[in-house]
Amino acid sequence: MKIKKFSAPTMPEAMKLVREELGKDAVILNSRVLKSDGFLGLFKKTKIELLAAVEPKDEEYAPYKKGSTILSKEMDVERIGNAVKKQNFPQKEIEADTTKSADFSLYPPPIKDAARMMEEQELCSQVVIKVLSALLERFYQKNEWQDFSDIRMNIAFELEKMLSEKALGGLTFKRKFIMVAGPTGVGKTTTLAKIAAESMLKYDKKIAFITTDTYRIGAIEQLKTYAGILDVPIEVCYSMADFKHARDRFNEYDHIFIDTAGRNFRNEKYVKDLREAVDFDANLETFLVLSLTSKERDMIDICNRFSSIPIDKFIFTKADETYNYGSILNMLEKFPYGVAYITNGQDVPDDLIEASPGRISMLIAKAGETFGSS
């Protein structure tokens, strides 16, 4: 086994050096981005560093099969894993713009499969590289993977570790007011009804509704229907004065759930109107509702538009209408919010799943299969 370190200004250039010296059979053991100090802290330059290896040509490679060459004593899998550690490659996040042209063709077949699966889930490049670095080290140390389900489970394990650092989970019931905000068509009103119903039926909370959605036809009637089913009061607010009146009326209630208007998020007046109708100085917990059927670029634009109001966590809706869930983790990487819930249908209150590292990681890793409790 020949192991060597390569460096170049970009990933494609580094890959070219690997191919030229080690050939097309070389594999990438790890990768990282280095930045020079520059002059007086300025003019810093980025450099890609790869750790690559190649086996003698007479070695046969069959990564999924027990008893294959890679599991034989001659190959000394443990020695390869130790070599990776000795290079002292940190598990460092690589910036997205340096990995857009990343070439996974030099990776072992199971690692290539893992990369393809994560790219199909549209996970951002820094997440893909971070996960692959961990998978490479484990693969060369143990090589216990027998089929694609093992790859999925290893991906889920790494994603769960990443997600364990995020703020995940539903209502804490520490704040009196719970508000949902977001663009039109993402299912805010139905989602709010699900959370409210669960709070009342499962946790025995005394609840009430406030709606500021006076723009959408039928919006008030929709929430009134849910309020009637739950037998709880509702107030319609057109102004800050109305909101304060409703707040005083519901002073004795445990929690008040606030629905807001869904309008074109590109219109800056929408967020301004929201600030004029809701008292954000109140004891308020705010969820930004996003649809998983939306383009990630639009999700990012929505978050930027709502940056002027305090957002606590995301709620992702319409999980049952797509097979791509990588945007959940991507948005957590890009914004300092957590995830409270994921919804996967229209039934109130059933189609509401509280976010957890295990649930989200398995949802992504299983790529559309039904997910449950973890």
Tens of pLDDT, residues 302-329: 998 888 888 999 999 999 998 889 999 9
For the cut 70, the answer to whether the pLDDT of residue 68 exceeds it is no
| DSSP letter assigned to residue 10 | S
pLDDT, residue 136, reads: 78
Tens of pLDDT, residues 151-196: 788 889 999 999 999 999 999 899 999 999 988 889 999 999 999 9
Local confidence band at 338 (pLDDT 50, 70, 90 cut-offs): very high
- Taking CB atoms within 8 Å and a gap of at least 24, the contacts of 273-280 are 274/181, 274/212, 274/309, 275/308, 275/309, 276/239, 276/240, 277/212, 277/237, 277/238, 277/239, 277/240, 277/242, 277/243, 278/179, 278/212, 278/240, 278/243, 279/240, 279/243, 279/244, 279/247, 280/309, 280/310
pLDDT, residue 227, reads: 93
Local confidence band at 298 (pLDDT 50, 70, 90 cut-offs): very high
For the cut 80, the answer to whether the pLDDT of residue 340 exceeds it is yes
How many Å is the Cα radius of gyration of the chain?
25
- Report the C-alpha gap between 103 and 101 in whole angstroms: 6
The more confidently predicted of residues 216 and 98 is: 216
Cis peptide leading into 349, omega within 30 of 0?
A: yes
> Are 315 and 170 within 8 A, CB to CB?
no
Tokens 């050939």 sit at which residue? 23
Q: How far is CA 234 from CA 75, 158, 203, 222, in A?
A: 70, 44, 20, 12
pTM: 0.72
Tens of pLDDT, residues 223-266: 899 999 999 999 998 888 888 899 899 999 999 999 987 666 66
Length of the chain: 374
Tens of pLDDT, residues 31-40: 777 766 544 4
Residue 45 neighbours by CB under 8 Å, 6+ apart: 9, 35, 36, 38
Lowest mean pLDDT among 3-7, 57-61, 288-292: 57-61
- Report the C-alpha gap between 247 and 180 in whole angstroms: 16
Residue 339 token pair: 């995830």
pLDDT, residue 82, reads: 46
pLDDT averaged over every residue in the chain? 77
Give the helix ranges, DSSP H, for 186-322: 188-201, 219-230, 240-249, 268-277, 296-305
> Are 117 and 151 within 8 A, CB to CB?
yes
The helix/strand/coil state of 305 is helix
For the cut 70, the answer to whether the pLDDT of residue 67 exceeds it is no
Residue percentage of the chain with pLDDT more than 90: 34
What is the Cβ-side half-sphere exposure of residue 308, based on CA atoms within 13 angstroms? 11
pLDDT, residue 250, reads: 94
Residue 189 token pair: 């009103």
pLDDT, residue 260, reads: 87
Q: Which of 111, 1, 140, 3 is nearest to 58 (CA)?
A: 1
